[in-house]
Structure formats: structure tokens, C-alpha cells
Chain A
């Protein structure tokens, strides 16, 4: 099987699905780029991270739509197109910019079906780049999936590798509900084996990344590769962990996490979002409620602090959960019997 990057995997999924389903459109800022430029190069960008490259030449301007900088209308138009028969895949360049267009997610897309008594169908995907690691500072580094996970009516996907990203994106586009698809910018170039063709990964099904017996580690997005490094290192010392990647935070595969915690009795949750009202807190609360009597130690959450994301290299490095912090948490949860 070929090894490809997460960026390539997402790009492949977009190509596959646009080929298969003529109702799929892509829209966003600079998804092709070059319109109105002076070089005559029509696809001058293909997305600022290159995720949508090749779509314009293949599928044309009607289906690959460069928009002005107008996030409210990008998401609003995706909502409207989805309600009326298309399957839009909109791009918000950085997840942080959801700040500009939150209404279209919070009050519109998420609620149509419920408010309209089950009559609406809003098959849309909003892709957005999230996360830290590039010193992009407070307005270009956030992982806002906890906030969107808390909105009933939205589904939220947070892939950690190329294989999952492709299968989950194909599922997302075929799903009839609004799906928010988070792409961690520091994972784009990470490679793994990915099949060429079509395959889907169901929502609400966690991946068991490593199996062990002493500790359950749940990690999301970029924290998964970090946690893999730690878990593999500790395995050599005889400390073995279940490492679970939920892959979707809404729906959340509670059962896989609970089953693991029932066996290990110890839980470490790792996420790079700030700690309050977070996915980490949500998982910890769920386990505390449903597997309390199996716990042998207090749950530990490894998260960013309750601060915005800082700019300087040293500050961002201190802000983000690190392998050292994950390792310390695993040792601590084992120590405090």
C-alpha cells in the first residue's frame, strides 16, 4: 500500500467523491486561487495548505468555487445549497475564523432538522484547519472542536492520521447531517499507508491504536502521534497502555473507552484544547459517571492551560501538551493507587 500524507489523503477523498457524486461542490477562500490574478495561472493555490489542489482543473468553476473573504456567507451558502439538493464541502481556512460565522453553524445548520420537525436534510461538510505547533499565535492556532462538539445537531470529526482522514472524510460527505471536519495543521505532512480506492470509516467508532493493560490513554488529533511515542516507550519498561483515538467527538464512542477503563482502572485523557468545557473534561466526566467503581486512581487530563495560544516558540512549546507531560501523567496515574 502506498504511504501518503494526510494532506494527500484528504485531497484524494475530495477527488474521489466529486468524481462519484456530481452533487458535491467545494467552496471557500482560495480553494483554487488565481482568479483575477495577473499571471493567468488559474489554479494558483489549490487551498492555502494545498488541500483542494487539482479540483478546479478536473471539475470546473461551477463546482469548485473561490469565494470572497466572507465566512458567514460561505457557511450560509453551504447551508442553503445543502438544504436544496447539493452536498457542499465548504472550507473555513482556519478554524479560528468560525468566530466570524458562528451563527450559520450554531443557529442554522445545526438546528434545521430539529426545528423543522425532521423535514430538513443538510448534508454538508465544513473542513477547517486547526491546532498549534506552527507559532501561528492566538487567532490561527485554536482547536475549537470542544465548542462545536457541544452543539446538538452537528457531527464533529477529528482525525489523527492520513488513513482515518480519508475514510472519515468520505463518510462525512456521504452523511446527511452537517459535519465539521477538523484538520490539524501539524499533521498535514504526516504519512501512513492509505489504500488508493474508496473506503469509509463509520462515525462514533474509536480506533484502538495500542492495546495494553495498565492504563487507558485517550488522545485526539495531533496528540495521538505524541501519545503513541510515549506509550511505545513505556511498553519497553513494562508499562502497557490502551491508546484510544475517538476519531469523532460527536458522536463519541463511549463504549470503547468504558470497556478499556473497566479493564485498566486508570484513565489519562490528552487534548491540546484548553481545559474548561473541553472534550477531555467531557470524556473524564463520562467515565467518572459510568465507570466510577472501576477506577483505581483519579482521572488525569493533559491539556493546554486556560489561556489563549501564545506566539513565541518557547511559549507555545510550554503551552501545548508534550510527550513529557503525557509520560508524567501516565506515571502519576499509576503511582497513585
Chain B
């Protein structure tokens, strides 16, 4: 696998940024600074980053309710995101959207999405754009195991195959949709074969291992970018927190998260891999850790101090002209 030192360090930085961002929000929510519903991505970092490391600004992604990781991996400004989650006037979406609707169109990030299954059809449209305008870009949708049961996702898969558009379905199976397990809600218990049944190849990855996701996505982009039509990347992974902040997680075995944090932490796995093989020295990674912690501290400080939106802001941006 061809991956440069710089790129590895950047990938690590992205993964740590997601982790620190989420761990910090988990703490800050309990202090009452953050309103609304918040779904944390910690634990799944290797998927977002392994996928987005193959993408540039001409490539589009669309996310889910659990969107922070995808946003960071696609290059959204972390401080703007934190301000958005705090509902600030200069947040990435001016405080209008919040955690579930962070978007940055300039970065090719078409939004987190509060409607499960809302994203994949929109990404088919972005793939049509790429095809018609010959941008060379691909469109990527992220969906969970739960979303994979939504009719909209089936429609998007079939239509992408029919239209042979550059569309990559990233399927993140973290084992749960809210309080319900994958093995109950996905009738066939096999998202890979179900997706293949639509007529597209599925590249499988270990969702805890950045390098595995990176390799699967390399094959996916090679296919879709070069006129091969749609395909999917499937990764099993886990979330370290509840479905939403405040979820008592009664559906989960008591020691499950602790065990996964010990054994299946994508950051630890990355570190072990690159240091043991001599690809990167641990001191480089430590430095990244420190810089990211500073960045997140700064993001929170600036978000807390940022101005709140005003009543007049309610009325803006409903239309472009009216």
C-alpha cells in the first residue's frame, strides 16, 4: 500500500481530532453548554478518515445524524463546528443547524442529516452532477446498519447502478440502530450480500483499522472514479458512547464499551501498527496528540465566548430571494 509519512501523520491527526472533539463534547454536554440532540462518533474514526483520505474538495460526501467525524475528516473547520454545536452566530451554519445539520458545501460536505436514510439519494444526485459535468469527482454517502433498512437507501443503490454513476456507499455497521441490535433489524444479517444483490461490488474493511479502510476505499475510488459505476465500502465498527448523549445503553452488555475501548480502539491500533513497524516514531504521534488537545481547548474556549445569534437571525436564509 502506498501511503506517505505525511499522509499517515495527517490521517492520525484527523482521527485524534475526531476523538478529542467527541470526548470533549461528551464532558461539556453535562455542564449544560450544549443544547439539543447530540450523537457522538468516537470509536468509528478509522472509517471516516480511511474514506475521506481518498477524497478532495471536488468529491462530495453526505453524512448522518452522527456527523461530526465525517465533517472533520472531510476538512470542515473544527472551531466553526464547535461554535455550531454551541449554537453560535458565527458557527459553521450560523447556529441554525446544530450538531445534526453541520455542513460545509465549499468543502464538499453536503451535511449531516437528521433523517435516517435521507442522504444516499442526495448523493446519487451529486454523482449525476459529477458525471454530467465531468468533474472527475465521486459522491459518497455514509449510512449505518439501521439506515441500511430504509427504503430510500435501497432506491439509491438500485438507481446508482442503473445510472452507472460515480457513487460510493459507505456502510458503517456499528451493531446498533438506537436501542436495537443489527442482528435483529437486518433480516438477512448480511449487509454485504444484500448490497451486492443490487449489482455493485462491496469492498470490505476492518472498521477499527485505518489502513484496512484506506485500502478498501482505494479500490472503491479507483473503480468509481474511472467510470466503473457505483460500489460500496462495508466496515464493522463500534461507537464508544450511547446512541445520543444521555442514552443509558440498557441494550448493551455492561462491559462491552470498556472491552471495545481496550481492544478495538482505532487510535491505539494505528499507533501500535506504525510504531512497531517503524513507519512513524511514537514521539511524532505524541506531538500530534498535544497539538490536537490544544486545538480542541481553543475551539471550546472560542465557542463559549462567541456571540449568540439574535432574534432577527431567525428570518434570514429561508430563501435566496423571496
Contact = CB atoms under 8 A, between A and B. Distances in A.
A34 B37 contact: no
Interface in B97-136: 97-98, 100-101, 113-117
A33 B98 contact: no
B24 to A, nearest CB: 19
A137 B117 contact: no
A38 B253 contact: yes
Contact of A139 (B101, B150, B178, B253): B101
A79 to B, nearest CB: 15
A33 B181 CA distance: 9
B151 interface: yes
A72 interface: yes
Contact of A38 (B87, B98, B181): B181
Contacts of B87: 135, 311-315
Q: Which of A36, A40, A70, A312 has the most CB of B within 10 A?
A: A312
B3 to A, nearest CB: 35
Interface in A34-74: 34-41, 44-45, 48, 66, 68-73
A298 to B, nearest CB: 23
A64 to B, nearest CB: 13
B228 interface: no
A26 B87 CA distance: 37
A69 B143 CA distance: 12
Contact of B185 (A40, A68, A314): A68
Interface in A280-323: 305-308, 310-315, 318-319
A71 B151 CA distance: 9
A66 B238 CA distance: 22
Contact of A136 (B36, B115, B311): B36
Contacts of B113: 139
A35 B250 CA distance: 11
B35 to A, nearest CB: 4
B252 A37 contact: yes
Interface stretch (B40-48, B213-221, B290-298, B312-320): B312-320
A30 interface: yes
Chain A, interface size category, equals 35 or more
Contacts of A30: 178-180
Contacts of B313: 310, 315
A38 B252 contact: yes
Interface stretch (A92-100, A109-117, A206-214): A92-100
Given A70-B151, A99-B115, A311-B87, A305 B184 contact: no
B115 A139 contact: yes
Interface in B143-160: 146-147, 149-152
A53 B313 CA distance: 40
Contact of A33 (B147, B150, B179): B179
Contacts of B184: 35-36, 66
B157 to A, nearest CB: 15
A218 to B, nearest CB: 24
B98 A39 contact: no
A294 B116 CA distance: 49
B95 A312 contact: yes
B150 to A, nearest CB: 5
A310 B179 CA distance: 27
A277 interface: no
B98 A45 contact: no
Contacts of B309: 310, 312, 314-315
A328 interface: no
Given A45-B178, A137-B114, A139-B101, A38 B256 contact: yes
Contacts of B253: 38-40
Given A35-B184, A305-B315, A315 B96 contact: yes
Contacts of B308: 312-314
B149 A33 contact: no
Contact of B149 (A38, A70, A99): A70
B19 interface: no
A72 B187 CA distance: 17
A37 B180 CA distance: 6
Contacts of B95: 310-312, 314-315
Interface string A124-136: 0000000000111
Contacts of A235: none
Contacts of A315: 87, 95-96, 309, 311, 313-314
B176 interface: yes
B88 interface: yes
B226 interface: no
A137 B254 contact: no
A44 B250 contact: yes
B251 A319 contact: no
Given A44-B179, A68-B185, A34 B314 contact: no
B172 to A, nearest CB: 14
B150 A70 contact: yes
A314 B87 CA distance: 8
A33 B176 CA distance: 10
A16 interface: no
B74 to A, nearest CB: 20
Contacts of B149: 68-70
7 contacts: A35-B184, A100-B151, A139-B100, A307-B314, A312-B96, A315-B96, A315-B314
